[in-house]
Copies of this chain bind each other. A is one copy, B any other.
């Protein structure tokens, strides 16, 4: 399945990597409804595009994403005037769907987080497999200072950094730096410069290339499963997944390559 045509995000494929750039720099990549629809279209494609092994998500113009779009809010308000609360519910819920879809992509997702990482941008940071921040990036959930809630974001924040940190950040609207975000476990790396971010990203992709794509997709699925079902059941399911992996094409090639002391096919440059 081909990627859709998009205007608010930019797509660039580089071998097994898809570079996905939020591309509304004039509004610090505020997440418009149009952008959400385009991201959902990309997710549709990614679910079948197993030639893509990693997705690098970042923002154009020095910011990741400044949150929701104010103009959209005004339009939604007009629409809700006639349609009532359900219009607002749909408006809000679609963003949770977006986070659920990207959280569960078969690819490994890598977020590069610079400048503003606010509201919806904060939520998007929370569902990446690997998060690399600039140490001076600014993370915040300012929703309750506007009289509204970080509604679709909050559950992903709790999953990401735990209840204790989530309650402080959501209830005070505190702004934290990339370094603090690393200390809280929100991101994995905080880097001092754009060059250091590039070097870190290159290293992450180098490591990722060594890992078999289907094994990774299934491991990611297993990690999600682990959070949803009791431990014994997860272990039973894991044993089934292991038996399929070890007897499948990747398991055979991986074992053989190991014995022959050569890189596996998926690891070759």
**Contact residues of A with B, CB < 8 Å?**
70, 73, 77, 80, 85-86, 88-90, 92-93, 96-97, 100, 108, 129-130, 143-152, 154-155, 158-168, 170-174, 184-186, 188, 204, 207-208, 210-212, 215-216, 218-220, 222-223, 226-228, 230-232, 234-236, 238-255, 258, 264, 267
Residues of B near A234 (CB, < 8 A) are 155
- Assess the B145–A212 pair: CB atoms within 8 A: yes
The listed residue (B151, B171, B186, B254) touching A241 by CB distance below 8 A is B151
Measured CA separation A46–B242 after assembly (Å): 30
Measured CA separation A255–B253 after assembly (Å): 58
Residues of B near A85 (CB, < 8 A) are 240, 243-244, 247
Residues of B near A93 (CB, < 8 A) are 235-236, 238-239
Measured CA separation A92–B235 after assembly (Å): 9
Known contacts being A162-B162, A235-B152, is A147 close to B212, with CB within 8 Å?
A: yes
Measured CA separation A192–B165 after assembly (Å): 21
The listed residue (B161, B164, B226) touching A154 by CB distance below 8 A is B226
Output the least CB separation between A66 and chain B (Å).
13
- Assess the B147–A242 pair: CB atoms within 8 A: no
Residues of B near A247 (CB, < 8 A) are 80, 85, 88
- Assess the A144–B207 pair: CB atoms within 8 A: no
Output the least CB separation between A239 and chain B (Å).
4
- Assess the B171–A108 pair: CB atoms within 8 A: yes
Known contacts being A92-B238, A235-B100, is A222 close to B154, with CB within 8 Å?
A: yes
Residues of B near A184 (CB, < 8 A) are 185
Output the least CB separation between A190 and chain B (Å).
13
Residues of B near A86 (CB, < 8 A) are 243
Residues of B near A90 (CB, < 8 A) are 239
Residue of B nearest to A228 (CB): B230
Measured CA separation A184–B254 after assembly (Å): 29
Measured CA separation A145–B212 after assembly (Å): 6
Output the least CB separation between A4 and chain B (Å).
24
Output the least CB separation between A209 and chain B (Å).
10
- Assess the B255–A147 pair: CB atoms within 8 A: yes
Output the least CB separation between A119 and chain B (Å).
12
- Assess the B108–A239 pair: CB atoms within 8 A: no
Measured CA separation A49–B96 after assembly (Å): 33
Residues of B near A147 (CB, < 8 A) are 212, 215, 245-246, 248-255, 264
Known contacts being A158-B223, A243-B89, A247-B85, is A172 close to B207, with CB within 8 Å?
A: yes
